Structures are given as structure tokens and as C-alpha cells.
């Protein structure tokens, strides 16, 4: 698919079905300013409406020290309440659009992830991180609180007690602690994080695209239901795959002892 040239994001099809997206403001720790909010909202909306050949996204930051430092506080300095609320409405919309994105997004956390940057990581489906990275929700030290899912996604990832400690102290945790607590799936040397994420993206992109989408939807929404209802939701998602071309192709390929050629239909 053809994407516009964004002011704050770099986009590249690094594999036939894998899109790499890079936060590209390294001079300010890849901080999220108003323009990045607009760029993200446009990108996630386009991918939701028509992902084209994209079957998996890898999201990372420019440079080798910081994934994303959060909101751009220099831009926010002196903002009126109206300006602040208007900007945050934009941020909210891009986070929620990412949350509901049908295709999987893997965070390749190349460095520190703080505040809104950490919330961005938490909104992705899962993450790989640099062993030198640190993670924090620092909003409480600035007189605000997380407002892009941090108070909801973090407890769901690591449990309420650990999350409240991070949220109420604003103190960072190490990459080793993040791995121990299940915030990230694996740690790598700083220069190897993106490649680790791409390895997994290649595997996902090689699987049946409709199956991957239905799995993401089932986990995402089923997790908010009581168990019996979630089981029924899962079966509804499953049944949508039975008459797809890819399901027939998968069974044929298995019996013919060859690699399936999935088309996403």
C-alpha cells in the first residue's frame, strides 16, 4: 500500500507483508507532539480501513536510547486548558484507533519508554525490548495521570498491586523487571531489538491473515467478557473462518505436504 510521507513517522515495507513504523523525532526523545498525534491517527485509520498487503506492523523509535519519552512537554509548556484538552482529544483518538486496529502491532522497544511512550507500548499486542530500556508512567510527578490507557492496560498486564506501585510512584523499572513481570516478551541487545521483532512479524505474516485478525479480536474483546460469553464469542470468530479460501488452502497444503499460500480471503 502507498502511505503519505509523514512529518514525524517513517514507514517502510521491510517485507512483502510487514510494515515498519518508526517514531522519528530522535532529537527530542521521539516525544509525541500534536503533529505526531495527527500522523498516528491518519496511519492507524488508513490501516483499519484498508491494510492492503500489510499483515503485521513493527513499531519502533529512531535512535538507540529512547523508544518514546511521552508527550512533548516543551510544546505543552504554556498551553491553555482548551489547547491541552483539544490536543489530548487527538491523542485519545489515535490510541483508541491503535487499540482497535485489526492487524497485529509488535513494539520493538529500542530504548526507554516513559509516560505516553510506555502507554504506546502497552497498546501494542506485545513487545520486545532492549535490555538497557527502562519503563515508567511518570505522569504523577507532573501533576497529571496517565490518560491513554495506562491505568487500564498496565494492571491487565502485570496485576493491580504492581501497577498501582508504578502508577503512584512514577518510578521506572528495569528491562529485567519488565521481563519478569510479563510486560515484554523477550530482551535483546540494543541493536537487535528490531530484528527480533521482525523475525516474529515474518512468522505472523506467513500465517492465514484472517485467522490472525480473528484471534486478535477474540482475545481483545473476549477478555472483557465473563467466560461462557467469551467462549461463544470465540466460536463466532472461529465460524467465520470455516468457509474461507485460506482454510481450504491450509488443509490442502497440509495434505500435500507443502507450504500454504494464504491470500487473506
Instruction: Please enumerate in sequence order all residues whose Cβ is within 8 A of that of 102, keeping only pairs 6 or more positions apart, or say none.
Output: 48, 51, 213, 216, 217
User: In Å, how far from its chain's centre is CA 133?
Assistant: 17
At CA 122, angle to CA 75 and CA 104, rounded to 5? 110
Q: Which of 27, 49, 119, 249 is catalytic?
A: 119
Bridge partners, residue 13, by sequence:
19
Between 34-49 and 81-99, two packed helices, what is the crossing angle to 10 degrees?
A: 30
Query: In a 3-state reduction of DSSP, which class is residue 75?
Result: helix
Residue among 40, 37, 33 at smallest CA distance from 72: 33
Burial level of 265, CB count in 10 A (0-12/13-18/19+)?
exposed
Run of H or E including 164: helix 160-169
Residue among 187, 144, 183 at smallest CA distance from 167: 144
Q: Which of 53, 139, 165, 189 is catalytic?
A: 139
Q: Is 119 a catalytic residue?
A: yes
Task: List residues with catalytic annotation.
Answer: 119, 139
Amino acid at each position: 500500500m502507498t502511505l503519505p510521507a509523514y512529518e514525524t513517522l517513517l514507514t517502510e515495507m521491510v517485507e512483502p507483508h510487514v510494515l515498519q513504523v518508526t517514531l522519528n523525532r530522535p532529537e527530542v526523545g521521539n516525544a509525541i507532539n500534536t503533529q505526531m498525534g495527527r500522523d498516528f491517527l491518519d496511519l492507524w485509520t488508513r490501516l483499519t480501513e484498508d491494510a492492503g498487503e500489510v499483515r503485521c506492523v513493527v513499531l519502533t523509535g529512531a535512535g538507540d536510547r529512547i523508544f518514546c519519552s511521552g508527550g512533548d512537554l516543551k510544546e505543552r509548556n504554556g498551553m491553555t486548558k482548551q489547547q491541552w484538552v483539544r490536543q489530548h482529544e487527538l491523542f485519545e483518538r489515535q490510541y483508541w484507533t491503535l487499540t482497535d486496529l485489526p492487524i497485529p502491532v509488535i513494539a520493538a522497544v529500542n530504548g526507554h519508554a516513559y509516560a505516553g511512550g510506555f502507554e504506546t507500548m502497552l497498546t501494542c499486542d506485545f513487545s520486545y525490548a532492549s535490555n538497557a530500556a527502562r519503563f515508567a508512567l511518570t505522569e504523577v510527578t507532573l501533576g497529571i495521570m496517565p490518560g491513554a490507557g495506562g491505568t487500564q492496560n498496565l494492571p491487565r498486564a502485570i496485576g493491580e498491586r504492581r501497577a498501582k506501585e508504578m502508577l503512584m510512584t512514577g518510578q521506572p523499572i528495569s528491562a529485567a523487571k519488565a521481563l519478569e513481570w510479563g510486560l515484554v516478551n523477550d530482551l535483546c541487545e540494543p541493536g537487535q531489538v528490531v530484528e527480533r521483532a521482525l523475525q516474529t512479524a515474518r512468522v505472523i505474516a506467513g500465517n492465514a491473515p484472517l485467522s490472525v485478525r480473528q484471534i486478535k479480536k477474540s482475545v481483545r474483546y473476549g477478555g472483557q467478557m465473563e467466560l461462557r460469553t467469551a467462549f461463544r464469542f470465540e466460536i463466532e470468530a472461529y465460524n467465520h473462518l470455516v468457509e474461507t479460501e485460506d482454510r481450504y488452502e491450509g488443509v490442502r497444503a497440509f495434505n500435500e505436504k507443502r507450504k500454504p499460500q494464504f491470500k487473506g480471503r
